[in-house]
């Protein structure tokens, strides 16, 4: 077991190997697939990672952040810690206003598909903000498995990480999957379509199921749609043609939660 580094390393050169790696991860959306690591920028993401029991391979702080006890405490469990001048940190940031600290983390090993799990399937969803938002909805509504098919925005890219706001760390994520992987699911596939006859509130929704959310402009691929056990329409009395895919996912995932059997209320604790 590697003991956490107690004294931070000071870095003063932009050509330092660590900073070169961080620039690659922050500027290339798919670099994490080659490196096996992801860059979490900002205290919100880093705190969410720590709260889920994560241990950073490397914490990186500006001198300013290191002077703030609440931020410095986040580095307690990190394997290594580095201090860099603010100007160098700005050079590895992908934010308009660079954060003060970040974590380099090892990506979790890819797990096997959980055949019986409630699942969110992303079919070529291209906008990173939409993908991150859907991960947040999945985590909020108790859907712990997300399968991103090839063509979907890279799950561990900086933009998706920021939009996910920590949801990644509570989900089982399968990134860049082939559609054939869905053959192993034992739960039925359900998709939405503005042309479906059944409205979501009245549809015989299977619980659990695998919700399939498709490309922002093209929707779910026709071949994948044909495999779905059920296709439903979200009622829109306001007259809009369609919902944003992230909004549609939130509505559908909530409806799945609403259909769950009600748990009996717990008696109040004895005083």
Measured CA to CA, the distance from residue 162 to residue 132 in angstroms comes to: 7
Could you give the C-alpha distances from 199 to 126, 209, 230, 250, in angstroms and in order? 26, 17, 11, 16
pLDDT of residue 238: 80
The 3-state secondary structure of the chain, one letter per residue: CCCCCCCCEECCCCCCHHHHHHHHHHHCCCHHHHHCEEEEECHHHHHHHHHCCCCCCEEEEEHHHHCCHHHHHHHCCCCCEEEECHHHHHHHCCCCCCCCEEEEEECCCCCCCCCCCCEEEEECCCCHHHHHHHHHHHHHCCCCEEEEECCCCCCCCHHHHHHHCCHHHHCEEEEEECHHHHHHCCCCEEEECCCCCCEHHHCCCCCCCEEEEEECCCECCHHHHHCCCEEEECCCCCCCCCCCHHHHHHHHHHHHHHHCCCCCCCCCCCC
pLDDT of residue 267: 58
Beta carbons of 221 and 182 less than 8 angstroms apart: no
pLDDT of residue 270: 53
Q: Which residues of the chain have pLDDT under 50?
A: 1-4, 271
pLDDT of residue 3: 47
The model's pTM? 0.91
pLDDT of residue 264: 56
Residues 6+ apart with CB under 8 A from 88: 11, 12, 14, 19
Burial category of 1 from C-beta neighbours within 10 Å (exposed 0-12, middle 13-18, buried 19 and up):
exposed
């Amino acid at each position: 077991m590697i003991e956490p580094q107690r004294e931070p390393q000071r870095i003063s050169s932009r050509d330092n190997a660590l900073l070169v790696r961080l620039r690659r991860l922050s500027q290339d959306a798919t670099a994490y697939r080659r490196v096996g690591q992801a860059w979490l920028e900002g205290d919100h993401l880093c705190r969410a990672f720590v709260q889920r029991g994560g241990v950073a391979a490397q914490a990186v702080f500006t001198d300013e952040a290191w002077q703030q006890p609440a931020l410095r405490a986040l580095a307690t469990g990190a394997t290594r810690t580095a201090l860099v001048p603010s100007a160098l940190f700005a050079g590895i940031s992908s934010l308009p206003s660079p954060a003060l600290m970040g974590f380099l983390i090892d990506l979790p090993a890819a797990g096997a598909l959980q055949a019986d799990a409630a699942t969110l399937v992303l079919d070529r969803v291209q906008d990173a903000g939409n993908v991150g938002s859907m991960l947040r909805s999945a985590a909020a509504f108790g859907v712990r498995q997300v399968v991103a098919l090839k063509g979907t925005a890279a799950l561990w890219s900086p933009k998706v990480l920021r939009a996910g706001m920590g949801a990644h760390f509570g989900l089982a994520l399968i990134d860049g999957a082939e559609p054939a992987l869905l053959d192993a699911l034992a739960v039925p596939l359900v998709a939405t379509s503005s042309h479906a006859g059944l409205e979501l509130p009245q549809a015989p929704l299977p619980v659990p199921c695998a919700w399939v959310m498709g490309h922002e402009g093209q929707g779910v691929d026709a071949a994948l749609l044909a495999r779905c056990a059920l296709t439903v329409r979200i009622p829109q009395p306001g007259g809009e043609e369609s919902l944003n895919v992230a909004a549609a996912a939130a509505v559908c995932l909530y409806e799945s939660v609403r259909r769950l059997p009600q748990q009996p209320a717990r008696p109040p604790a004895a005083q």
